[in-house]
A = this chain, B = another copy of it.
Amino acid sequence: MRLLMINPNTTASITERVVDVARRCAAPDTEILGATGRFGARYISSRSAAAIAGHAALDAWANAEPHDAVVLACFGDPGLDALRELSPKPVVGMADASIHAACMLGQRFAIVTGGERWVAMLEEFVAARGLAGRLAGVLALPQTGAAIAQDPDGALDALAACCRTAVSERAADCVILGGAGLAGLPARIAHRVEVPLVDCVIAAVGQAQGLAALAVSKPQAGSLALPAPVPSVGLSPALAARIGPME
């Protein structure tokens, strides 16, 4: 299986990090491909950057190599349902995959991430996926995930403390470390936290492999079937071709 990891921000080193963690956890017959957003914010830590990234994710997908499944590798999953609508292959969001995995590890999950603006955004994301009742809380370090990725060693103590707070004050049964920049870190602090930690890249790769095993075909009806083509202007040719005839 060829698994496309789309990082919808515009920092290639984050894509490399995600691809690297994915390669280490994927099944032997899973090939990992990476794609990076071609426009938009260098990192995504606001509603506006996420809105742009929804478009960038579609654009990166339309311009990517052939693949059998997609992981949208920004925790918060901008453009997830739009990608699912257009893509003939299964699409997994990194946050979506993580919260569903977490639900199988505990009654209540918390999310620990970087960047305080993500707190409300992720609460809304979880609610939109219908899982607000399972959410123990979202806790954020002040620095962004990108900053954590640049100095992971310096963030480990704060991350572990935040996870323990989620257990002691929010009654979390498990904790997701959310963010591409935090991929790989759960393994480093697991021994310091009393409950299971979810690595969002490993969760996403696992869910993608699981969906691939189901061998489902593209919906021909319902809310995620391919929509009627529509003309467009100003898009990349590859994306324009995906949504309809170019003008």
Q: List chain A positions with a Cβ less than 8 A from chain B.
A: 10, 25, 27, 38-43, 45-52, 54-58, 78-79, 81-86, 90, 92-93, 96-97, 100-101, 103-108, 117, 119-121, 124, 127-134, 167-168, 171-174, 187, 190, 194-199, 202-203, 205-207, 209-211, 213-217, 219-225, 227-228, 230-235, 239, 242-244, 247
Contact = CB atoms under 8 A, between A and B. Distances in A.
Contacts of A83: 48
Given A50-B82, A195-B222, A211 B105 contact: yes
B40 A235 contact: yes
Contacts of A224: 47, 105-107, 173
Q: Which 4 pairs between the two chains have the least Cβ-Cβ distance?
A: A39-B234, A206-B210, A196-B216, A46-B227
B213 A210 contact: no
A227 B46 CA distance: 6
Q: Point out which of A42, A83, A230 has the most chain B C-beta atoms below 10 A from its C-beta.
A: A230
This chain: copies in complex: 6
B46 A232 contact: no
B194 A221 contact: yes
Contacts of A216: 105, 174, 190, 196-198
13 contacts: A40-B235, A48-B83, A48-B227, A51-B79, A97-B104, A100-B101, A103-B130, A105-B214, A120-B222, A127-B133, A168-B221, A174-B219, A196-B214
Most chain B beta carbons < 10 A, residue from A108, A174, A213, A239: A213
